[in-house]
Structure 1
């Protein structure tokens, strides 16, 4: 299958939602563990929220922040923000009150919806900045009170595809979180590509188990909703509960991050559940190992498996329909047809096919820039001879003769040992083959002899010896790749969507000092 690209005029979110509400008014659009709502109810609720936002002074392209766990109310607020012509700021749930406060102020959010303890923590900060009249507690009773008296018809709002759709703050895996501004055009193009490429429509049912603050969640959720489908929201991922719900609710399409696939496959009852309803299974946020891809295809064939490689910033975008290319499971697939993908060296020169360098790309799905950070936007950009901007990925890789993209490592994570480049992914792919290794991440440690040397952090099965795993791996690795140490840990530090926080692992290295 060749992925179709968006053609013809793009539809803004409001138009797509309006059409779904009118064509299938009584179909369930959203549900969670406590309630559900139909398309016509969702449409009316969005209108009422939008009108109240406008009453509070929210204007087209203004920012409105949300901080909460997954719920129907969360999505209703998002649609209300869009209906008001404003821009959604979904704040990450797993961070500190100081960081939340900084994001609210950086975004210039005119209003904030927050639930429970999140709201309590934020309001305890003297430097928070929003007046109480512009803060709404996100629960059913308070939201009902907020929309009381508002009309159910659409407000008279003029918005543009150039306006902001959402401002997503990065997970902070590389330092202070940056605001990534995606336009309505970005999201409309993305939804059109997904709908046409993977057959999304009114019969599509997606099970959402990653946080609504994440681009991983939003790009599939909005594509499904643009298509008039329905979504079942999980407040928190649990492998056993997910499997039971999937068997009961019969979803057709789902996106999961790599750690979720590994935990589902590792569940002792995985093979007992009926997962035959799936038409598409997607994976993104971090590379999925070739071994795990093969296991998914073998043990969970329904819906195949498509891995997406890209960035919240956009520009770079690839897809691998793994079920169609079983010989390419060690890649992240082909560039999207409308993605101009290139590989450059450290001097910014374009490399020939097969050479290793930094991956850059440009497509219709390209962020406006890092919000309030022009210097950071320029640093993450590459310009061709015509001045056209490409997005730097920060990833090192190469493109093979068939056009498939191979990833090696994050540029900043390449381990330079004795003058040789060592790629953590190669070591991780070897270690994960050990029967006692459940999860693993490799980072650089300072070394007296080599400058840097690889150290692995591994989640091991009961009674497994980290030293024995290290010896086993080193027998299979090249001389310059050999691990200085394997450190056994109970779990790897992860972001909201399961990305390993290697910065946190580097902090754990400090007590080890410089290795030989």
Structure 2
């Protein structure tokens, strides 16, 4: 198929991210670049290690655009591998540590990765199939004769910059969208798209001695949209291997954190820390949120007690439509995800593929200067993802439903695939979830469609109750249904100890639905 041609930004980039980071290292040699536990690297140290990673990969036969995979927790080494792979001209393929062994095998086979960097704790996920793959293996934190040793590999490599020539259309990274079950889809971002993203770096303060705390995994685009601008800005990335709300607050205080990217479930857990107000977070300038809608009540709490600006991004890993909510400047719009970002155009389309009237709910389709190249090796999936307006202009279909309010702020309804069709009526699970979450005894909630002989499917509420709650499932159900119209009422409520979530906090509704539809 023809290449996707995103619109050109008003101020197009003139350097690749690789060049930007190269410049940052030259300008800030003694400044801190990476902090992870006891490891602290200056920009001069990081730059040398990036060069060694790049030269080591070239020595292993990795050519420009070849895929290099990583399966590891956040660490200084992960950052080196990611940036070093880019400097070698490779396409980074960070793998989800939440994926099943079957899914990981499909990802590695599909990507054709030349090299796999692997951490000890994830060996059980790949040991059953690695021998079937033609991939060179590097152990990042363990010894095994079947693997190359990371530090030995770097010691044997040159520390000079290989200065690999990179084209705008070269793949930057390959991120797989499925980390649990099913056939993974590889999302390709090219160097142009990532360079366009860097226009946010200076306005967001990443170029002003920022200290960015990242507690979501580096295999996630959620993390990369904050990690990469921090690196481009010559600032400091502070990495957590595993998120813990109290440990996060302690680290933010100790490291005088100025910037952070968090997902909604992390904000909720942080704000629920009993002694939250005892931590000194006065250095915080900007907090970002993405990956899922942040509830209005949580935004209010964050604005009231957590210093610094709060900015919410709505968008997809594939790119296209992006909206921005500067929550502290629009406190009356906390129920929305903001307005289209500069250069972004969003249309709302109905089941017939036509745009819906103003104020009505439709599927969100968007275009912007930052759009993926396509799904790796799957032109068919890429074509299915595209919607064209009457002029033939390409928009990406999000699968999310929403409407614009009278001021042009986008209000999300639900994922299209999560919409419940009961007796021919469309029920948006998100509307019911908000009612359940309004209950003071409910700390987490998900609504799914389950089979119904009478209605085809019917909504079921799954809730997590606060520790001291002593109300029954029927009590919660009765209270919720008293606030819902007859056609939208829940058929039942069931309690859970917790709801399954991905590593970036998204509720895994497919996992919740599976037992009911398998019966």
Mapping of 1:88-487 within 5 angstroms? 88-125=92-129, 128-131=132-135, 134-139=136-141, 142-172=149-179, 175-192=182-199, 194-300=200-306, 302-462=307-467, 463-487=470-494
SS at 1:406's partner residue?
strand
Residue 173 of structure 1 and its aligned partner are, at CA, apart by 7.0
Residue 172 of structure 1 and its aligned partner are, at CA, apart by 4.5
Q: Distance in 2 between matches of 1:93 and 1:126?
A: 16
Q: Distance in 1 between matches of 2:142 and 2:22?
A: 23
* Distance change >3 Å, CA 154–CA 140, structure 1 → 2: farther
Q: Distance in 2 between matches of 1:271 and 1:53?
A: 47
SS at 1:189's partner residue?
helix
Residues 418-439 of structure 1, C-alpha deviation per residue, up to 9 Å, x if partnerless? Answer: 2221111111111111111000
Residue 364 of structure 1 and its aligned partner are, at CA, apart by 1.2
TM-score (norm 1): 0.94
Residue 275 of structure 1 and its aligned partner are, at CA, apart by 1.5
* Distance change >3 Å, CA 202–CA 41, structure 1 → 2: farther
Residue 174 of structure 1 and its aligned partner are, at CA, apart by 8.5
Residues 127-147 of structure 1, C-alpha deviation per residue, up to 9 Å, x if partnerless? Answer: 64124xx11001288322011
Residue 464 of structure 1 and its aligned partner are, at CA, apart by 3.6
Number of equivalent positions: 504
Q: Is the 8 A contact 1:332 1:407 kept in 2?
A: yes
* Distance change >3 Å, CA 416–CA 429, structure 1 → 2: same
Gaps in structure 1 of 5+ consecutive residues: none
Q: Is the 8 A contact 1:344 1:358 kept in 2?
A: yes
In the alignment, structure 1 residue 71 sits paired with structure 2 residue 75: yes
Tell me which stretches of 4 or more aligned residues in structure 1 moved more than 3 Å: 171-175
Residue 200 of structure 1 and its aligned partner are, at CA, apart by 1.9
* Distance change >3 Å, CA 253–CA 156, structure 1 → 2: closer
* Distance change >3 Å, CA 174–CA 337, structure 1 → 2: farther
Residue 111 of structure 1 and its aligned partner are, at CA, apart by 0.8
Mapping of 1:35-74 within 5 angstroms? 35-74=39-78
Residues 104-161 of structure 1, C-alpha deviation per residue, up to 9 Å, x if partnerless? Answer: 1101111110110323542332664124xx1100128832201123221111411111
SS at 1:154's partner residue?
coil
Alpha-carbon RMSD across the aligned residues, in angstroms, is 1.7
Residue 449 of structure 1 and its aligned partner are, at CA, apart by 2.4
Gaps in structure 2 of 5+ consecutive residues: 1-8, 144-148
Q: Distance in 2 between matches of 1:510 and 1:418?
A: 17
| Aligned residue number for residue 495 of structure 1 | 502
**Worse-superposed segment, 117-126 or 231-240:** 117-126
* Distance change >3 Å, CA 211–CA 199, structure 1 → 2: same
Q: Is the 8 A contact 1:195 1:224 kept in 2?
A: yes
Residue 176 of structure 1 and its aligned partner are, at CA, apart by 2.6
Q: Distance in 2 between matches of 1:350 and 1:221?
A: 36
Residue 22 of structure 1 and its aligned partner are, at CA, apart by 1.1
Residues 28-51 of structure 1, C-alpha deviation per residue, up to 9 Å, x if partnerless? Answer: 100111311110111111111111
